[in-house]
Amino acid sequence: MIRRLTDEERAALNALVDGELDAGEARIWVGRIASDPDLAAARDEILAVRDAMKRLDRPEVSPEFLRRIENLASPPRPAAARPTRHWTAGLQNIAAAVVVSALLASSATYYFGLPHGASFEALIADAHRRSLLAASPVDVLSADRHTVKPWLDARIGISPPAPDLAAEGYKLVGGRVEVLGQQTLPTLVYRHNEHTISLVARPDAATSGPASGLASGGYNMVEWRGGGFMFAAISDLEPDELEAFVADYRAAAEGRPR
């Protein structure tokens, strides 16, 4: 049984699910959730209710409810002055919206987080931008993969390879936990000259796949699959420079020559 959460905990979990916390606060609460099973269970309950709400059908609107909405939308007038125009179609939309709003307010308005249809790439771009605006782009500051990987494993149970690429010109800065939609994912951070590279890893069944370049949110991005992850590297590097980083990372992670 989940313990009774404090008002602060409940509000923070709702804000985290809704994407309303800044990057620093989100990382703090992700860390607390990772170490507190009750917070994790409450977070999962919020996500489950949000998903259930999304699957609700458009509610039926009764004629009586339409009449009551019409009375609210159009104050009574003398019979002779009343317009003969019928509002039925518009009132059905208004009534449906009122029903949905009441339903959400009574149960879980805060369960709806990300804008409908937001792509995974757009979420990554937003997360990368937030990290650059934060005091530090990492939660754990270390160039040692033997520090970064255990830190990620301890918090979310997964961590991608974190090879030392300093000789190739890419310094490992550290790692952070990223909350993207309903997923909590590990992110490695490398730096090339003055450019920051965020490398997000999402568990994926595919063992290997070719890299593909794209752009999102004003940044260049390269995606590929390998080693049980779907990777996305994002930076303001030029496309060919980012592809060179990906080639070096893949070679090192897969233990093969460049």
For residue 114, the model assigns a pLDDT of: 42
Query: Which tokens hold the place of 209?
Result: 């796949």
* Strands 195-203 and 212-216, sheet pairing: unpaired
Please give the C-alpha separations between residue 185 and each of 156, 207, 248, in angstroms, as whole numbers.
7, 18, 22
**Given pLDDT bands bounded at 50, 70 and 90, which one contains residue 118?**
low
**Given pLDDT bands bounded at 50, 70 and 90, which one contains residue 166?**
very high
For residue 33, the model assigns a pLDDT of: 86
**Given pLDDT bands bounded at 50, 70 and 90, which one contains residue 90?**
low
Closest by CA to 218, choosing from 124, 120, 113, is: 124
Residue 175 contacts residue 162 (beta carbons within 8 Å): yes
Q: Is the pLDDT of residue 82 over 60?
A: no
pLDDT tens digits, one per residue of 124-146:
999 999 999 988 999 999 999 99
Q: Is the pLDDT of residue 117 over 80?
A: no
Among 113-117, 174-178, 179-183, the range of highest mean pLDDT: 174-178
Partners of residue 179 on adjacent β-strands: 184
| 230/222 Cα distance (integer angstroms) | 11
